[in-house]
Amino acid sequence: MNEIPKNFGLHRPSLTLYAFHLRNSINQGEEPTVAEAPILWEQLVDLGDKFHITKLKTLPNQLICYQNNQYFPQIEDSFGIEYTNLLHNQEQSLNFQLIPQTRGLELQGLLCPFRLHDTYAIDLTLYSQDTFSISQLSNLNYNNLLLPPKIQASLGQTLLLFGQPIEAQDNYQDLANAFVTQILSERNSTELISTGYLLGNPIFEYESAHTDPAQKLHILVWFKCQDMNQNCMDKVAEILLYLLWCRHKIQYVYYQSRWCDRKAKKLYGKLQNYERRFHQITQTANQRSQLRQLQVDLSNIGLEYARYLGELADHENTIAINEKNYRNKLEKLESLPETNLGLWHQFLRYSQNKLQQQIQTDLRFLERGRDRLQHLKATVQESIATAPVENQSRFGGNSWVQPAVTSFPQNLYYHEHVAVTNDMPGIPENIYPRLWRTLSNCDQFRTNDRLIDFFDSNDLLKAWCNNLPETNSRDERAQRVIAYLDDEYRNDTKENVLMILLHLLKKQIDPVKELHQTLSELIQELEPILAPKSNSKSNLVVLHNNPSLNDLRKAEANPKGEPMFYIAGDEKLLNCARAVARVTVPKIVNGKMKKIPTGTGWLVTSELALTCWHVIEARDPKREPPISASDLQKQIANSVFTFDFTQAGVGIEYGLVQMEHDNLELDYAVVRLRDRQDSPLQRRRFLGLDADIDFKLVTQLYVIQHPKGQPQQRSGGFYKSDLDSNRILHSAPTEEGTSGAPVLNVTNFQVVALHNGENETQKLREATKIQAILSDLQHNRPKLYNEIIAAQSQNQE
């Protein structure tokens, strides 16, 4: 490199900062922007305070996204989001004077703030009409005012130094190197990565090695060595903003993808531990309860794993979209005269050959983990079905005692494969809420590690330490521990392990505290319920033949003349039940899983199933905004239809290929299921449709359902009236989780309506007529309608 004389410099230099900051993200929840969105404007105000620039100090008064000096981004919605000038009255720029810092050099400035779709962008330029020597160029970036951390834009930033060299040079690259060194502080370093020509004048590109976009330095040096057409220069300014935005967006998204990749690979690394845990469980007694807990944990890790894979795929798609936009802007720039920008074609190749290919490689690797996880889940499912029945002592010898059915609190999340009514058969519904709340208030339940340490340090609990459920919620941690321990007994003392836990927790708490008293009360109430049962035979009353008892039997033989039912009808109902599934849809809000609600669905062909739209959406329309397209796709990708779920630990799962059609008004959705080789859907009958039924008050109905996500049940009722031309009201009992269930005509066991939910005004249940659904499909999706009708016709032959 040739040394440049210190007195060499630029005529009329300018330094422009292009900074890009994230305004919106899929993770922002119900807020109008991400929490950090206004930071860019706050940083500019801070600059105004430090450098006494009045127009920057009062910047919020100049922006449309502020009202009364308070950030109010909703007002931007009335403008176009693709490109919005954020200054009041659409002024072109905010112009200001910068007080000279040294040697009387006068600087002027202008700020152009924009919104570009999901991004805030600024064009902040400092310029002078004077001639600056190399040593004076640092005044354009006085005190690093245009570098991080004074400006820390989340997507990244570019500095453009422009000016006319005072003398022609044989090697402008050496001159550019000297200028870059001068405007940067000693702690910032960049490397020259490419060169080119823009409007016949040399341009040089520099970049630092930072991976964090907010810290990365990207610098362009453009020399004016010959005159340029002003119209062409205006076009450059317009195109350059978009081009740099796409460039920084690509780098930012790739940086985010590295975080997802690390998280997913961390989960992948845990798979071996889960496989080892499965093999350990199969060598122990009381396998079923441990396998169920393992199944829940695998479902949770599967959802989290799928989320990261989905985000990686989204990142790859976002990079591809921005790469296409970048290419379009680059082509427009290169269409200008005397322009050769091979430097930016290199970035395109870098994006394709490095960034996108790396994400694709990551996804291929991580998909193997998903396959391993699915295989392990299927193996655990099969093991649960074949595991021996546990804890015979709870059945009181040869006579079976019906366990109490538990009513769960509203905030208990339902998980795949878990029959929620059977997890805690011995805890009465009036005790259970107090029990889990009390446990969650104990310090030992604050974190997973604290709970594990507590079990590990107590010999009476140590045997249950390794399989303790882990979760991020204290409440859910308490609920899962109850489910894990309520039917666990020590082999030596026959004591219930949950009772042991309660006693040990009580010893850790000061007797004067209310928590100690609550634990004492719970122990007293649960002692007789969870006490080990006697192995002696129950006392049975034997009825001998005697005249009085025989006479009594005669008197009780159907004294009211109630009807009896043919077994053939039950057989038809059971055949119908095999086409009905529990629907598990993870509620994903801004990419994060909130909970797992359930519904019901059923086969209308061997591949297509019907359920309610609101089951797939998993939103409360009264309190929540409609679902985003991104969240909907993730929910569909992770939804599960479980058939033959007639008791805890059994059932066959099918994922979704896609949602074929939905109708918000009629509240229905048609989905296509992903088939399984080990249990093809063709073996499973689908339900017939009765679209021509003439509803009458005597029309008797069955509803096959999975209320509250429980094993399959059915209820009966009658048609009551038409709610409107598309809906009926019926009286069959239903509960939360029944939505999407088939409403069957008792006389022919065909579906006449799709259950939607409760009509609070009428105190009856609503259901959409099958006739209305078929009519909508015929009008809006004729091919899908023909597919269903063809299958139904064959089903009737």
Same domain for 421 and 484: yes
What's the whole-number average pLDDT of the chain?
A: 83
> Using CA atoms, how far apart are residues 176 and 154, in angstroms rounded to an integer?
27
pLDDT above 90 for 572 = no
pLDDT band at residue 412 under the 50/70/90 scheme:
very low
* 541 domain residue, yes or no: no
* Selection from 714, 781, 740 nearest residue 609 by Cα: 740
pLDDT number for residue 710: 87
Domain boundary among 650, 683, 716: 683
pLDDT above 50 for 551 = no
* 564 domain residue, yes or no: no
Same domain for 185 and 79: yes
Same domain for 142 and 66: yes
Same domain for 373 and 456: no
* CA angle (429 as vertex; 477, 448 as ends), nearest 5: 5
Secondary structure of residue 738 in the 3-state scheme: coil
**Beta-carbon contacts of residue 766 (< 8 Å; ≥ 6 apart):** 723, 727, 728, 729, 755, 756, 757, 758, 759
| Sign of the C-alpha dihedral computed for residues 183, 189, 192 and 197 taken in this order | negative
Domain that holds residue 454: 404-530
Out of 78-87, 281-290, 394-403, which region has the weakest mean confidence (pLDDT)? 394-403
- Taking CA atoms, 317 is separated from 20, 73, 262, 345, 484, in Å, by 20, 27, 19, 20, 42
The residue whose two tokens read 């090697």 is 171
Same domain for 101 and 40: yes
Q: What is the per-residue pLDDT across 232-271, written as a single tens digit (0 to 9) for each?
A: 998 998 899 999 999 999 999 999 999 899 889 888 888 8
* 236 domain residue, yes or no: no
pLDDT number for residue 399: 32
Same domain for 309 and 195: no
Same domain for 589 and 678: yes
* 362 domain residue, yes or no: yes
Same domain for 718 and 653: no
pLDDT above 70 for 436 = yes
pTM, full prediction: 0.52
pLDDT number for residue 255: 92
Beta-strand pair 218-223/156-165 = parallel
* Selection from 376, 433, 415, 395 nearest residue 648 by Cα: 415
Give mean pLDDT, residues 697-725.
90
Give mean pLDDT, residues 46-66.
90
* Domains in the chain, number: 5
* 544 domain residue, yes or no: no
Instruction: Locate 679 and state its tokens.
Output: 């249990």
Out of 77-81, 267-271, 293-297, 509-513, which region has the weakest mean confidence (pLDDT)? 77-81
| Cβ-based neighbour number of residue 267 at 10 Å | 16
Which residue has better confidence, 773 or 466?
773
Domain boundary among 354, 386, 418: 386
pLDDT number for residue 655: 93
Same domain for 761 and 676: no
Secondary structure of residue 198 in the 3-state scheme: strand
pLDDT number for residue 480: 81
Same domain for 162 and 135: yes
pLDDT number for residue 402: 32
Out of 121-135, 440-454, 479-493, 712-726, which region has the weakest mean confidence (pLDDT)? 479-493
Same domain for 678 and 705: no
pLDDT above 80 for 391 = no
* CA angle (198 as vertex; 192, 201 as ends), nearest 5: 85
pLDDT band at residue 89 under the 50/70/90 scheme:
confident
pLDDT above 50 for 552 = no
Domain boundary among 499, 530, 561: 530
DSSP letter at 541 equals: P
Read off the CATH number of the domain in which 761 is found. 2.40.10.10
Which residue has better confidence, 580 or 302?
580
DSSP letter at 63 equals: B
pLDDT number for residue 626: 87
**Beta-carbon contacts of residue 26 (< 8 Å; ≥ 6 apart):** 590, 591, 628, 630, 631
| Sign of the C-alpha dihedral computed for residues 124, 130, 131 and 137 taken in this order | negative
pLDDT above 70 for 393 = no
pLDDT above 90 for 658 = yes
DSSP strands (E only) in 23-133: 66-67, 70-71, 84-85, 94-98, 107-116, 119-127, 131-133
Q: In 609-631, which positions are buried (b, 16+ CB within 10 angstroms) versus exposed (e)?
A: bbbbbbbbbbbeeeeeeebeeeb
Q: What is the per-residue pLDDT across 336-366, written as a single tens digit (0 to 9) for each?
A: 999 988 878 888 888 888 899 899 999 988 9
* Selection from 424, 450, 181, 105 nearest residue 292 by Cα: 424
* 542 domain residue, yes or no: no
Give mean pLDDT, residues 157-182.
89
* 547 domain residue, yes or no: no
* 43 domain residue, yes or no: yes
pLDDT band at residue 568 under the 50/70/90 scheme:
low
pLDDT number for residue 81: 65
Q: What is the per-residue pLDDT across 591-606, written as a single tens digit (0 to 9) for each?
A: 888 778 899 999 999 9
Same domain for 104 and 176: yes
Give mean pLDDT, residues 184-203.
85
Q: What is the per-residue pLDDT across 636-655, written as a single tens digit (0 to 9) for each?
A: 999 999 999 887 667 899 99
pLDDT band at residue 299 under the 50/70/90 scheme:
confident
> Using CA atoms, how far apart are residues 733 and 742, in angstroms rounded to an integer?
13
pLDDT above 90 for 453 = no
Q: What is the per-residue pLDDT across 746-770, written as a single tens digit (0 to 9) for each?
A: 888 999 999 999 998 888 999 999 9
